[in-house]
Amino acid sequence: ETGVTQTPRHLVMGMTNKKSLKCEQHLGHNAMYWYKQSAKKPLELMFVYSLEERVENNSVPSRFSPECPNSSHLFLHLHTLQPEDSALYLCASSQDRGSWSPLHFGNGTRLTVT
């Protein structure tokens, strides 16, 4: 399998649940990202990992917890979410974390918080 793979594609969870989103890249890239895509808003960068080290946390609430066990895998652990957290969560990777390095996106996880 090639590219960036995200699972699950769809997730419905209650506000008291704990769930995790998974991302895997098969491109040999060194940087991985979590983005949040909400309707009528620009993509919001949540977290950046470079060589498994977190290098960016854009003031994301602590109910979102990322984990990067190796350069190919990225997780987003979710707990006690709010309805406004419903969105499409996109994982991406790039060769390096430099601004010239294009992003390769997965197809996203559509999250609905009830």
Partner 1 sequence: AQSVTQLDSQVPVFEEAPVELRCNYSSSVSVYLFWYVQYPNQGLQLLLKYLSGSTLVESINGFEAEFNKSQTSFHLRKPSVHISDTAEYFCAASGAGSYQLTFGKGTKLSVIP
> Given the rule CB under 8 A, which residues bind partner 1?
4, 6, 31, 40-43, 45, 48, 55-56, 90, 92, 97-100, 102-108
Nearer to partner 1, 73 or 97 (CB): 97
Q: For the CB of residue 49, give the shortest distance to partner 1 in the complex, in Å.
A: 11
Q: CA torsion angle for 111, 112, 113, 114 (degrees, to 10)? A: -160
Nearer to partner 1, 49 or 64 (CB): 49
Q: For the CB of residue 77, give the shortest distance to partner 1 in the complex, in Å.
A: 21
Give the distance from CA 112 to its chain's centroid.
Answer: 15
Q: For the CB of residue 80, give the shortest distance to partner 1 in the complex, in Å.
A: 27
Amino acid, res. 65? S
Cα–Cα distance measured from residue 11 to residue 67, given in angstroms and rounded to the nearest whole number: 19
Would you call 81 helix, strand, or coil by DSSP? coil
